[in-house]
Amino acid sequence: MNQHSLKKSQEFSQLKILLPILIPIILFSLLPLGRGIYLGFTDYTLGSSIKFNGFENYFQLFKDHYFWKSFQVGIVWTIAVSLGQLILGMVLALLLHSRIKFFSIYSVLIVIPWAMPPIIRGIVWRQIYDPDSGILNSVLMHLNMIAHPINWLSSFEHVIPAVIVAGIWGGVPQTTIFLLAGLKSISSDIYDAAKIDGAGLWAEFSRITLPLLKPTLAAVICLNILWNFNSFGLVYVLTQGGPGGMTRLPMLAAYEEAFRYGYVGYAAAIGNVMIIFLSIILYFYLRIQFKEQVK
Amino acid sequence: MMLSVRSVKQFIVKGLSQIIVLILLIYLVFPFIWLLSISFKSTPEIVTGGLQIIPKNFYFDHYRSIINDSNLIQSVLNSLQVSILSMTITLLIALPAAYSLVRYKTKIKNAVLGWILASQIFPAILIIIPLYMVLRYLHLTDSILGLTMVYVVWELPFVLWMLYGYIKNIPLELEEAAFIDGATKLQYVYRILFPVILPAIGATAIFAFIISWNEFLFALVLMKNPENITLPVQLSRFTGMEGQARIGLLAAASCLATIPSLVLFTFLIKGFKSGLSSGSVKF
């Protein structure tokens, strides 16, 4: 058998094994996705017929103040939340990795936010931020840091930080666990060698941990950015995008366009713009990862 | 006894580490404790607010009314059904698939790996309406089975990627020995590979379960019949108009909804400590 036909027969037998995943993937992912992308180039509204209208939606998006605003909110949210998750996750992972006492108890406790469905995360934080019965106001007033209760989720000034704090909280466990797995895969021999050379903690971190953790870090940062930019449940429950669109993330904007106003075509167009934006992020991630492999 | 500068320094570093971890833990754990606390308070006590973390008198009525709330119970059963079914189906079909992705380096492999990566950037909103149309075509709208299939595909990227990482570390000899003994590929995958990587499959199963247990948007849009809705959607209905009046009940139900994932995660961490999930998280 020559090389070519060997490859062909391999492909065929692989196709047979992959069929059980390929059929659902095509039916419930690729087909709807292709259709969804197409809908972004139509004027489809719920209940009406579908008509192709080229780039009309995108010209409208370009002029749509609410769309720009939601994208801007989305970017601020994504950067702040991903950065917070990264810093806190890194600190926790490093400390937990350093043979700290009570490691087992800590590692179970830190996953609690992860175990809560996003809806419940929203419910909890709404309760914490509640202007009348929320614990945050009670604590701050008790400490005399504020004189009057603050309405965290409906004040223009406080809503963004408030939502971001809740957003970071939900993603720290995942980030920590992933980074911890990355740290574990670094051989301890390297650290022992560094200790003999008399390297301090900072030198150890910046010369060994950070460079060896780079592939894991890149993956974690990239995934966090994708997930945070696409997030929906938490903010949907916390603020529903309010007050005045201050926290209307792109997903919430698209959801409203589609299911509140029925502008499915327009919502799909928002989705398409989101894909382009996230593809750029993914591209940079792959480039970093690829360079790493070439090394 | 003389304390060396080195051991004093070490003592300070250790103490400082504990303090930082504790501060972060308060941030991470407190919201759940607060939720637990309100679930045991009477509605007037909740509405008054205050700093009381341990309720003055433990109040169990919220938990009692959950048992009497047939809609809530139904939604829990629906969630369990969808999560367990989709987890099982996903693992069964992903295991041979992941094996073949590791062993055959073909164009199809690259296509599937590309899909795994790309699926992370699709906003769900883009898929959801066409998905509804596909389900309608298959007569699977508003049905547990339909949602299950959607979740299977939603879990697949993560599950495939995890299994791919684990199987890559299995030595080739294991498989060669099996084939010499006359096993077919599927026999090898389910009878030999499966038990060998069982702990890893356990970890993957937990993630798969939690993905569908937590999912909200698809369930919100695709399930309309009140008999079919899942727990997160049912809970989100409580947050609407009735609001504060039923916050105690909502908190109690939320605590219960968190327990399955929490128990599973505890298992996962136990396994994590023994090193089974130390596989890489790279693509």
pLDDT in tens, B41-81: 988 888 887 788 888 888 888 899 888 888 889 999 999 99
So what's the ipTM on this one? Answer: 0.88
Q: Tell me whether residue A66 is in a domain.
A: yes
Residue A28 pairs in a beta bridge with none
List pLDDT tens digits, range A179-194: 988 888 887 788 788 7
Looking at residue B282, its pLDDT comes to 38
The number of distinct structural domains making up chain B is 2
Q: Where residue A221 sits, what CATH number does that domain have?
A: 1.10.3720.10
Is residue B122 pLDDT above 60, yes or no?
yes
Classify residue B278 by burial, with Cβ atoms within 10 Å: 0-12, 13-18, 19+: middle
Distance CA A233, CA A255 (A): 11
| Stretch B223-241: mean pLDDT | 85
Q: What pLDDT score was predicted for residue B283?
A: 36
pLDDT tens digits, A209-238: 888 888 889 889 999 999 999 999 899 889
C-beta atoms of A24 and B213 within 8 A: no
Nearest to A17 by CA among B149, B138, B106, B130: B106
Closest CA of chain A from B243, distance in Å: 10
Mean pLDDT along residues A270-286: 91
Query: Between A73 and B275, whose confidence is greater?
Result: A73
Q: Which of A11-25, B75-89, B115-129, B237-251 has the highest mean pLDDT?
A: B75-89
Bond before A243 cis per omega within 30 degrees: yes
Angstrom CA distances, A66 to A40, B111, B273, stand at: 18, 37, 48
Over residues B243-267, the mean pLDDT reads: 85
Instruction: Establish if B263 belongs to a structural domain.
Output: yes
Kindly report, residue by residue over B170-199, the tens digit of the pLDDT: 888 888 888 888 888 888 888 888 888 888
Contact of B18 with A99, CB cutoff 8 Å: no
* Cα dihedral across residues A148, A149, A154, A158: positive or negative: positive
Do residue B14 and residue B154 come from a single domain? no
pLDDT at A145 over 90: no
Q: What percent of chain B has pLDDT over 70?
A: 92
Query: For residue A138, is it within any domain?
Result: yes
Whether B93 and B138 share a structural domain: yes
Average pLDDT over residues A149-159: 90
CB–CB of B261 and A216 under 8 A? no
- How is residue A234 written in tokens? 């938490």
Of B31, B50, B124, the CB nearest to A138: B50
Q: Which member of B24, B97, B153 has the closest CB to residue A92?
A: B24
Q: Is there a single domain that holds both residue B74 and residue B213? A: yes
Claim to verify: residue B149 and residue B28 sit in the same structural domain: no
Residue B3 class from Cβ within 10 Å (0-12 exposed, 13-18 middle, 19+ buried)? exposed
pLDDT, residue B279, reads: 43
Mean pLDDT, to the nearest integer, of A96-119? 87
Tokens of B156: 């697949």
pLDDT at B180: 87
- Rounded Cα distance, B148 and A291, in Å: 39
Q: Is residue B46 part of a domain?
A: no
* Residue at B195 is within a domain: yes
Closest residue on chain B to A109 (Cα): B29
Is residue B63 included in any domain, yes or no? no
pLDDT tens digits, one per residue of A48-106: 888 898 899 999 999 999 999 999 999 999 999 999 999 999 999 999 888 788 888 88
Of B48, B123, B262, which has the smallest distance from its Cβ to A251's Cβ? B123
Amino acid A80: pLDDT: 97
Q: Residues 48-77, chain A: which have Cβ within 8 Å of B?
A: none
Of A115, A134, A138, the CB nearest to B262: A115
Q: Is residue A88 part of a domain?
A: yes
* C-alpha A223 chain-centroid distance: 6
Chain A positions in Cβ-Cβ contact with residue B42 (cut-off 8 Å): none
Q: How many CB pairs under 8 A join A and B?
A: 294
Q: How far, in Å, CA of B24 to CA of A91, rounded?
A: 9
pLDDT tens sequence across B92-101: 999 999 999 9
Picking from B24, B204, B188, the residue whose alpha carbon sits closest to that of residue B103 is B188
| Whether the predicted model's global pTM rises above the 0.90 cut | no
CB proximity under 8 Å: A 142-201 to B: 142, 169, 172-173, 177-178, 180-182, 184-185, 201
pLDDT at B273 over 60: no
Interface check A39 vs B, CB under 8 A: yes
Q: State the residue range of the domain holding B32.
A: 5-39
Residue A87 confidence (pLDDT): 97
Q: pLDDT-based confidence at B245, cuts 50/70/90? A: low
Residue A196 lies in a domain: yes
Binary contact (A110, B122; C-beta < 8 A)? no
How much is the pLDDT for B159? 94
Q: Taking 70 as the threshold, does the pLDDT of residue A44 lie above it? A: yes
Confidence of residue B1 (pLDDT cuts 50, 70, 90): low
- Is B282 domain-assigned? no
Domain contains A14: no
Average pLDDT on A238-260 reads: 91
pLDDT at B87 over 90: yes
| Integer Cα distance of B30 and B255 in angstroms | 13
**Per the domain annotation, does A24 fall within a domain?**
no
Structure tokens at B265: 């995660």
By C-alpha distance, which of A247, A244, A269, A266 is closest to A257? A266
Work out the mean pLDDT of chain B and round it to a whole number: 86
CB A155 within 8 A of CB A246: no
B26/B84 same-domain check? no
In a domain, B44, yes or no: no
Domain housing A98? 60-294
Residue type present at position B168? K
> How many angstroms separate the CA of residue A157 from the nearest CA in chain B?
22
- pLDDT score of A294 more than 70: no
Measure Cα distances from A295 to A209, A289, B118, B283 in Å: 17, 10, 25, 17
Q: Is the pLDDT of residue B281 over 60?
A: no
Q: Tell me if B155 is assigned to some domain.
A: yes
pLDDT above 60 for B242:
no
Evaluate the CA torsion angle A86, A92, A95, A98 in order and state its sign: negative
Report residue B3's pLDDT band, with 50, 70 and 90 as the boundaries.
low
Residues B139 and B76: beta-carbon distance below 8 Å: no
- Give the pLDDT band (50/70/90) at residue A2: low
Spatial CB neighbours of A53, under 8 Å, sequence gap ≥ 6: A41, A42, A43, A265
Report the pLDDT value the prediction gives residue B131, as an integer from 0 to 100: 92
Do A42 and B135 contact (CB within 8 A), yes or no? no
d(CA A280, CA B187): 42
Does some domain include residue B249? yes
In terms of C-beta density within 10 A (0-12 exposed, 13-18 middle, 19 or more buried), how is residue B138 classed? middle
CATH number, position B251:
1.10.3720.10
Q: Domain for residue A25, yes or no?
A: no
Q: What is the pLDDT of residue B277?
A: 43
Kindly indicate the confidence band of residue A146, based on its pLDDT and cuts at 50, 70 and 90.
confident
Structural domain total, chain A: 1
Residues A73, A270: Cα–Cα separation, whole Å: 14
Q: Which of B32, B106, B122 sits opposite A116 (nearest CB)?
A: B32
Q: Note the pLDDT of residue A105.
A: 86
Closest CA to A134 of B166, B190, B34: B34
Measure the CA–CA gap between A274 and B123, rounded to whole angstroms. 7
According to the model, what pLDDT value does residue A214 have? Answer: 87
Contact check, Cβ <8 Å, A112/B29: yes
Q: Is A67 left (phi over 0), alpha (psi -120 to 50) or beta?
A: alpha
Determine the straight-line distance between the first and last CA of chain B, rounded to whole angstroms.
53
